[in-house]
Amino acid sequence: MKKLLALFTGPTRYPYLNDGLLLLVRLTIGSAMLYHAITKILQFSALAPSFMDPFALGSTASLVIAITIQSITGLALVLGFFTRPAALLLCGAMGFAAYTLGTQGSLLNGEPAALYSVFAFSLLIQGGGRISLEHVLVKRYKAAGAVGSSDKAKTKAKEKAATEQTASDKTATDKASADTQAHSSDEKSTTTA
């Protein structure tokens, strides 16, 4: 019973399950945003005159902004690259769309946009997961940084060893010259005596 309860309430023992679910959410939302952007592009001339204009920029400019946001965030989410910034942008845009559509008629008009906003917010909190392009790139960057830092450490160690060797050689040379001077002064004192 404890295992069953832990399955529903506790942390999972299968972290790749979480990453798989994040991948599923990313692909679903990203592909939906790309679909909506492509649909708007294909129907641009029909939508441009009547597209809602909440910022008083003009309906065509508002449509271009909506297409840009949906295509950039959709592509970023599908690839799993810059997931959190894309999710933040999408969460804000869909939240605003849900509010705008909800105030124009019934609240059900803004329901799909509200759902997109909630899912984008969950991606903002969770990130892209391990099955994403950004995870692969960060992993490679850290591996390259670790190799580079160990090479730098080896180079510094060699330089330090060379400096210590030079210092010990100088000390040995100074000691040898002091011994030679002391020995020559001893010889001079015995020859004069």
17-34 tens-digit pLDDT:
888 899 999 999 999 999
Give me the residue label for tokens 């060699």: 158
Q: What is the mean pLDDT of residues 90-118?
A: 86
Instruction: Report whether pLDDT(127) > 70.
Output: yes
Residue 164 has pLDDT above 60, yes or no: yes
Average pLDDT (121-150) is 84
Predicted confidence (pLDDT) at residue 71 exceeds the cutoff of 90: yes
CA–CA distance, 30 with 123 (Å, rounded to integer)? 11
User: Per the confidence metrics, is the pTM higher than 0.75?
Assistant: no
- C-alpha 192/C-alpha 187 separation (Å) is 9
- pLDDT band for position 159 (50/70/90)? confident
- Is pLDDT above 90 for 13? no
Say which residues have a Cβ less than 8 Å from residue 72's Cβ, sequence separation at least 6. 86, 89
Q: pLDDT band for position 117 (50/70/90)?
A: very high
CA 28 distance to own-chain centroid: 21
Question: Taking the CB of residue 93, how many other CB atoms lie within 10 A of it?
Answer: 20
Checking if the pLDDT of 78 tops 90, the result is yes
CB 124 within 8 A of CB 91: yes
Going by C-beta distance under 8 Å and a sequence separation of 6 or more, which residues neighbour residue 33? Answer: 70, 71, 73, 74, 77, 90, 116
Is residue 146 pLDDT above 70, yes or no?
no
What pLDDT, on a 0 to 100 scale, did the predictor assign at position 190?
53
Instruction: Give me the torsion for CA of 49, 50, 51, 54, rounded to 10°.
Output: 100
- pLDDT for residue 189 is more than 60: no
What is the identity of the amino acid at 40? K
Whether pLDDT at 177 is above 80: no
d(CA 23, CA 17): 10
Compute the distance between CA of residue 140 and CA of residue 145 in angstroms, rounded to an integer: 8
For 54, phi then psi, to 5°, come to: -75, -20
What is the structure's pLDDT at 70?
A: 95
**Euclidean distance between CA atoms 117 and 48, whole angstroms:** 24
- Per the CB < 8 A criterion, the answer to whether 96 and 120 are in contact is no
What phi, psi does 129 have (nearest 5°)? 85, 180
Q: What is the mean pLDDT of the chain?
A: 81
Give the mean pLDDT of 135-144. 89
What percent of the chain stands above pLDDT 70?
68
